[in-house]
Amino acid sequence: MTVFETPRLLLRRPEPADFSWFFSAMSDPVVMRYIRTPMTEEQAVRDRIASWEVYREQFPNLGVFVAVQKSDGAFAGYCVARHVNFDTESTEIEIGYTFLKPHWGMGLASELVPVLCQYGFAHSRAPYLVAFTDPENQASQRVLLKNGFELFGQRKVYEGISNEYRLHAQ
């Protein structure tokens, strides 16, 4: 069931049949280069996906969403609108996205981010949204800046120091 969409993507909740795509993305060192250490154990990915379900039970409108192409239903990647690092004590809502390599350079991230931000603001009381990028990930930084985010500084999050971007509610 589609939760929201962009001109070329349908965004829906993960389903059990998506596991192979998630594993493909999360275990690929090229895809994960700027995100985190690749997860090469299937059980670790299964556990991560299970934790997403637990989070969604508590926050039904937030979490992880699968991005599939409207044209052919192909898995393009996934995105998040969630508390930072799924920390339910946090008041910050983070947006993020990961696309499989065949879908890079097509403008999908630039198309997704404004819709994802609208969704994040609509389903939270956050005064701003936060996004993190590896300091070397210039492509994602351009996407965020193009969509109204401002560089806030750097922050230790996940596995290292990231650039922190914020978009304030209008």
Domains of the chain: residue spans and CATH = 2-168 (3.40.630.30)
- pLDDT tens for the 170 residues of the chain, in order: 889 999 999 999 999 999 999 999 999 999 999 999 999 999 999 999 999 999 999 999 999 999 999 999 999 999 999 999 899 998 999 999 999 999 999 999 999 999 999 999 999 989 999 999 999 999 999 999 999 999 999 999 888 899 999 999 98
User: Residue 63: CB partners within 8 Å, gap ≥ 6?
Assistant: 13, 52, 55, 56, 80, 81, 82
pTM summary value = 0.95
Cα Rg, the chain, nearest whole Å? 15
CA angle 164, 135, 51 (to 5 degrees): 60
